[in-house]
Amino acid sequence: MGLYIGDKMMKYEEWSKLAIKVSKASLWMLHFCTGCGAIEMPPVMTSRYDMERFGIAPMATPRQADVLLITGYLTVKTLRRVIQVYEQMQSPKYVIAFGSCTINGGMYWDSYNTIKHLEKYIPVDVYITGCMPRPEGIINAFIKLMELIDEGKARGWEKYQKYYDKYKENQRRVFNFEIEGENEEY
């Protein structure tokens, strides 16, 4: 069952198949409702679309959650909180980015304080396109995520561990609004 006593654990190869099966069938979600996408969540949770039939349940804190669902645009200030929350989640953890804002900034493509590509700061496993995506899109993304977990491709959290320094460098740059070769102080 993937339980090993003592120091022998924590090898990726020993990640048993049953553990993959159970982690795919029980995705607990933390919805970081910053943008307008939050309005799509109630239909997904309630009787019309009912995400609970796939074992997906909303959680209150990142410690308990497996999936971080980011619903919409992120300013630099919000990004700091998102990263804080992401780092508090327990591995294996996945990120679903919702709406075009997280892909390329969307309608905030030229805003001075909205980040454009979420993937540069935290690894994203599944994107949902659209402005707004429909609830079916969210369900579809979760099913896609389940497939990816099953195939062993949803490894964003491993990527984050592996390239931790690079991610931290990107995050530091954007938090400090640091433009290369330009250090003007207003």
Partner 1 sequence: MDVMGIAIKVALLTAYAVIGTCVGLLFMGIGRKIIARVHNRVGPPFYQNFIDVAKLLSKKTNISHGWIFDLALLFSISGILLTLLFLPIGGVQLLSMEGDAFLVLYLLAIPALGFALGAGASGNPNAGVGVMRALVMMLSYELPFIITLIALMIYYDTTSLATIVRMQSINGVKSWAITMPPFMLAAFAADMALQGMLMEQPFDIPVAPHEIASGPMVEFGGKYLGSLMLYKAIALVAETTLFVDLFLGGGVVAHGNFAFVINFIVWLALIFLLFILSILIAASFPRFRIEQAFGFYWKYEAIIAAISLIWVYILVIK
Partner 2 sequence: MLDIIFAELIIAAIITFFVGKKIASIIAGFISILPLFALIDWANNFGFKTISFGIERQMNISVAGITLHLGITPLSWFFALMILPLFPLIMLYSYSFFKENDGFYPFMLFAFASTFGILLSKDMLSLFLFWEIMSWSSFLLVYRSRDKEAIISYLIFSVFSAFAILFGLMILWHENFSLLLSDIGRINGIYGFIAIASLIIGFSVKSVLMPLHAWAPFVYSKSDEPFVAFLSGGLSKLGYYGMFLFLFTLNGVKILQNYTPNVAWNYLLAVVGSLSAFVATMLAIMQDDLRKLLAYSSIGQLGYIAIGFGIGTPLAITGALFQAFNHAFFKAVLFLAAGAVAYRTGKWKISELGGLAYRMPLTFLAALFAIFALAAIPITSGFAAKWLLYEAAIQQKYVFIAPLMLIAGVGAFLYSFRILYGVFLGENRYPDVKEAPKSMIAAMFILMLPLIIFVVFPGYMLDLMKPALSNSGIESIAHTKFAIETSLAKYNSMAVLITLIAAMVPAFIIYKARKHRITSFEDNYLAGEPYEFHNPSMHAAHNFYKPLKGVVLPYFEPGATYYFEKIYKGIGILSNGIRRIYTGFVQDYAIYVVIFLLAVMGWLIWM
Partner 3 sequence: MKSIELIGKGKEMHGRAYIEVMPDELENAIKKLKENGFNHFVMLSCIDWLEEEKFELVYHLWSYEVKEHVMLSVRMNRNNASMPSMSHLFPQIETYEREIHEMYGIEFDGNNRLTPFLLENWHHAPPMRKDFDSEKFVGKLYESIPFIEEDENEGI
Single out the residue of 52, 136, 147, 169 in contact with partner 1 (rule: CB under 8 A).
52
Which residue in 10, 12, 17, 177 binds partner 2 (CB under 8 A)?
10
Rounded Cα gap, residues 126 and 144, in angstroms: 8
Taking CB under 8 A as the binding criterion, the range among 15-23, 32-40, 121-129, 162-170 that sits at the site for partner 1 is 15-23
| Integer-rounded Cα radius of gyration of the chain | 17
* Closer residue to partner 2, CB minimum distance, 9 or 143: 9
Residue 25 contact among partner 3, partner 2, partner 1, none, beta carbon within 5 to 8 Å by kind: partner 1
The number of angstroms, rounded, from the C-alpha of 19 to the middle of its chain's C-alpha atoms is: 20
The least distance separating partner 2 from the CB of residue 134, rounded to whole angstroms, comes to 27
Interface stretch with partner 2, choices 36-44, 79-87, 99-107, 178-186 (CB under 8 A): 79-87
81: which 2 tokens?
Answer: 């909180």
Residue 26 makes contact with partner 2 by CB under 8 A: no
DSSP secondary structure letter of residue 40? G
Strands 94-98 and 126-128, sheet pairing:
parallel
**Of residues 57-76, which lie at the interface with partner 1 (CB under 8 A)?**
57, 59-64, 66
Q: Which of 20, 57, 80, 130 binds partner 2 (CB under 8 A)?
A: 80
Q: How far is the CB of 114 from partner 3 (least distance, A)?
A: 8
Structure tokens at 155: 């490894």
Q: Report DSSP letters for 136-177, one per residue.
A: HHHHHHHHHHHHHHHHT---HHHHHHHTHHHHHHHHHHHHTT
